[in-house]
Structure 1
Amino acid sequence: MSGWLLVALCVATGAYCLLRMRSGSEQARRAAGSEAVMGFGMAVMALPAAVAAPPAWGWAVFAAVFGGAALRALWLARTDAHHLHHLVGSAAMVYMAVTMAPAGAGGHGGHAMRHGAGGVPLVTGALLAYFAVYVLRAGVRLMPVQPAAGVGMGSTAGAGWGARPELALACRLSMGIGMLAMLLTL
């Protein structure tokens, strides 16, 4: 059941990120596109193996797709620091794909699996710590703040679904929670 809930969360997040691509600046659309790829990729990787076990070569496809996303995020990070988070997320997905690949699926005959089913504990721990801090920071930023006396609150009531900053942050929070869940099961 929890696997299906994670899949549903990731699909919903990816779909919302596609909606966000319709509004905002070019920079915001690029970020939303990266987040949509991450959401849908996480959904596919989180599918319960009993229902849809990927073929042996599927893990190489995941690693290639997210490796390309990591290179794109590295390129875009030159002008927007937010893409550093996308870089870490994409690198984490590559790491999980390599770690979860069945022995013998790669060209090194299980060389990537020599550290056990959970991957390299130090790397897994560092990624868990990063995403735990990210989730806590995003959660705190979503908490409502009381405006000071005499200061009006900005309204987003007329903004479209794609231009709501609190929904974009909730989307990022959801994906961070999803990454935590996936790393914990690694």
Structure 2
Amino acid sequence: MHGPALVSWLLAALAASSGGYCGWRVRRWSSAQACGGRHHLARRESDVLEAAMGLGMAGMALLPGVFWGWPYALLAAVLLVGALAGRGAGLRVHRLHHGIGALAMAYMALAMAGGGGSAGGHAGHHGQPGGLPLLTGALLVYFGVYALWEGSRVLTAGGAVAVAGGPAVTVAAPLPRACRAAMGIGMFAMLLSM
């Protein structure tokens, strides 16, 4: 593997790792005691969606095709309607972000399928770019800014921090944010390869 094929495999590994970690978090939430709180349910929903996005991105990086577009178009519609009907601002923002991500996945699948012949069956080998340049550019800006924002939050997150002379204070763990930043980078890279 070399050139764009290697990039496709690396992108698939990054996305699969991020999606797999989110899937592990879903399993951990399932085995944990059911606290039933709104925050617990929102976090679990977010982990399920991030796992689906990561694993779908890995599949799209290795086997691009129109068949990826339809499930993500349906997921985008459900999430965007759910964002409008959400009860909390945080839940609406999460659903809106994941809806935009699912819409971007559907758009990429359809654009890559119609964007020219594929050599070797890997993303990034197309003879001509697919999709609408303005929409692709807007999505590039969105996911680029998102990846930078989440990446900056990784730097400020930590584990248990010892306060001088006092007990350790737990700060939000950086790994979930690092996974979200990695998936933002993956979406940016996939859009860039169209």
Query: TM-score, normalised on structure 2?
Result: 0.72
In the alignment, structure 1 segments of 5+ residues that lack a partner are: 105-115, 157-163
Give the structure 1 partner of residue 185 of structure 2.
177
Partners of 2:26 and 2:130 in 1: how far apart? 35
1:107-126 to structure 2, matched below 5 A, reads 117-126=129-138
Deviation above 4 Å: which 4+ runs of structure 1? 145-153
| Contact 1:138/1:173 (8 A) holds in 2 | yes
| Equivalent residue letter for 1:171 | C
Q: Could you say which residue in structure 1 is the equivalent of 2:143?
A: 131
TM-align CA RMSD: 2.6
Conserved? CA contact 2:26–2:44, under 8 Å: yes
- How far residue 165 of structure 1 moved from its aligned partner, in angstroms, is 3.9
Pick one of 53, 59, 64 that aligns with 1:38: 53
Which of structures 1 and 2 has the larger relative contact order (alpha carbons within 8 angstroms, sep 6+)? Answer: 1
Is this contact kept in 2: 1:118–1:124, CA < 8 A?
A: no
Please report how far the alpha carbon of residue 94 of structure 1 lies from its aligned counterpart in structure 2 after TM superposition: 1.0
Q: Structure 1 155/10 Cα, relative in aligned 2: closer, same or farther at 3 Å?
A: same
Q: 1:71 aligns with which of 77, 84, 89?
A: 77
Q: CA 1:63–1:145 in structure 2 vs 1: closer, same or farther (change >3 Å)?
A: closer
The question of whether the paired residues in 2 share the 8 Å contact of 1:34 and 1:69 is answered with: no
Looking at structure 2, the residues matched to 92 and 9 of structure 1 have their Cα atoms a distance apart, in angstroms, of: 18
In 2, distance between residues paired with 1:75 and 1:46?
A: 28
What is the number of equivalent residue pairs in this alignment?
159
Counterparts of 1:18-97 in structure 2, within 5 Å, are 18-22=23-27, 23=29, 25-47=40-62, 58-59=65-66, 61-77=67-83, 78-79=86-87, 80=91, 81-97=93-109
**CA-to-aligned-CA distance 1:1-33 (integer Å, 9 cap, x gap):** 211111111111111111111327122111111
2:151, 2:181 within 8 Å by CA — same for their partners in 1?
Answer: yes
Partner of 1:21, secondary structure, is: helix
User: What secondary structure sits across from 1:154 in the alignment?
Assistant: strand
Q: Which of 6, 10, 16 is the equivalent residue of 1:11? A: 16
Q: Structure 1 or 2: larger helix share?
A: 2
Secondary structure in 1 matching 2:156:
coil
Q: Which runs of 5+ in 2 are unaligned?
A: 1-5, 33-39, 117-127
